[in-house]
Chain A
Amino acid sequence: MALFTVSGIRIAGMAACVPLQKLANIDYEWINERERKMFIKTVGISERRVAPPEHTTSDWCFASAQKLIDQLGWQPADIGLIVFVSQSPDYFVPATCMTLHKRLGLPQTTMAFDINLGCSGWVYAMSVVSSLMKSCGINKALVMAGDKSTMSMSYKDKSTYPLFGDGGTATALCLDPNAAPMVFNMQSDGNRHQAIIIPHGATRTPVNETTYQELEYAPGVIRHQRHLALDGMAVFNFSINEVPINIKETAEAAGKQLNDYDFVVLHQANKLMTEQIRRKLSLSVEQVPYSIGEFGNTSSASIPLTIVYKARQAVSTGKPWLLMSGFGVGLSWATLSAQFDHIVCPELIEM
């Protein structure tokens, strides 16, 4: 069971960056106006940020990391580890952490690698990075997480197109013997790997003559094999049934009650889904902040983006406790219990 505690690591800062361009779902003409209004009310996504072709996830992560490093007063030479977590890399080869390593001006003594995960990715990267820092004595590290999801959506697929937004984030961690322990609870289920999938274009099924043939899977659901396919009902059931258990176990392992947490930050996928989780856990409305209305599902950026957007004052001026849970593509799900102690948290960056 991957339920464990990492002590002596402090979250020093957090920053997030989104594209400037907004797309409003009320203008999504592929579906009728009634359905658009129903979608906005039920799923909770009014608008999303959409990247221009020339921007990538690493651009938003770089902007976030650079601002964080400046405000923290860190020197590039001090950073011993960076991890980029995303499913929209700059290239197939090399890993995107390398372009970030160059742009941040980091030394050859920095350890750098990518993690390929989506909705659960930020929590996964936090567990890997904090554990490595602790076991290897690395003083300072950065987790950079996000996705350019919109480029993988079919406009003619109402089950995916209005859901996703783009963005990238950076989280700074440092060794601190006085930091409150972090508790992680990490889970996976590969049996359900087809629930969220881009079927073609990598090595299992390279692009072939059928890849770009559009097929209609249901009314209003037309896409090709390089588009993201989402089994919404399966993911919905997974989320409302498995995630509350994982969250409860995490709080219990941290020796806390759920109402001890100032914020419970849930991955922003679908408001009907997260409200169901909130009610199952008897959490108050005030405990569960949202960024989904303005940014949609931003994949691994969603937890740090929500904190920057909705809890910035609290995490930068006080010592709140947060429970943060990412869940989705994989299927993969994970929760982190941590205290934020006067972190550096610049305002949301737009570019």
Chain B
Amino acid sequence: MTDTAEEFVSKLEIEFDDFEPGTITPETKYREMEEWSSMHALIVIAFINAEYNVTLNGEDLRNTETLLDIYNITKSKLN
């Protein structure tokens, strides 16, 4: 994938649509965000499926802590 981690996160931010711009970065530990909900996890899965044609399952997500981890696991599944 050609997107950098920063581009990946800024696209995600558009998908979420409920965070102030710039609130999330690759280093964000997303589960620690007050606003985070299971709906955000579904939005992540839907976005990655549509944008990169990669399917992340529940276990993939459980193994991540930051948005960078999600970016990396997505990238690894592309290859």
Interface residue ranges, A against B (CB under 8 Å): 34-35, 38-39, 41-43, 158-159, 231-234, 236-237, 240-241, 270, 272-273, 276, 279-280
Bound form: Cα–Cα A233–B61 in Å: 10
Interface residue ranges, B against A (CB under 8 Å): 18, 35, 37-43, 45-46, 49-50, 55-58, 61
Minimum distance in angstroms from B58 CB to a CB of chain A: 4
* Interface CB pairs A-B, < 8 A, 11: A34-B35, A35-B37, A42-B42, A159-B38, A232-B38, A233-B61, A237-B56, A240-B46, A272-B46, A273-B42, A273-B46
Bound form: Cα–Cα A159–B39 in Å: 10
Minimum distance in angstroms from A30 CB to a CB of chain B: 13
Q: A38-B18, A233-B41 are in contact. List 17 more A-B contacts (CB 8 A).
A: A35-B37, A41-B18, A42-B39, A42-B42, A159-B38, A233-B42, A233-B45, A234-B57, A237-B56, A237-B57, A240-B49, A241-B55, A272-B43, A276-B49, A276-B50, A279-B50, A280-B50
Q: Are A234 and B58 in contact (CB under 8 A)?
A: yes
| Nearest B residue (CB) for A218 | B38
| A residues near B35, Cβ cutoff 8 Å | 34
Looking at chain B's contact residues, is the secondary structure mostly helix, strand, loop, or mixed? helix
Bound form: Cα–Cα A42–B45 in Å: 13
Minimum distance in angstroms from A38 CB to a CB of chain B: 5
Minimum distance in angstroms from A39 CB to a CB of chain B: 6
| A residues near B58, Cβ cutoff 8 Å | 231, 233-234
| B residues near A272, Cβ cutoff 8 Å | 39, 42-43, 46
Bound form: Cα–Cα A20–B77 in Å: 48
Bound form: Cα–Cα A273–B58 in Å: 16
| B residues near A240, Cβ cutoff 8 Å | 46, 49
| A residues near B42, Cβ cutoff 8 Å | 42, 232-233, 236, 270, 272-273
Minimum distance in angstroms from A284 CB to a CB of chain B: 17
Nearest 10 A-B pairs (CB), nearest first? A42-B39, A233-B58, A276-B46, A38-B39, A35-B37, A237-B55, A240-B49, A38-B37, A272-B46, A272-B42
| A residues near B39, Cβ cutoff 8 Å | 35, 38-39, 42-43, 272
| A residues near B61, Cβ cutoff 8 Å | 233
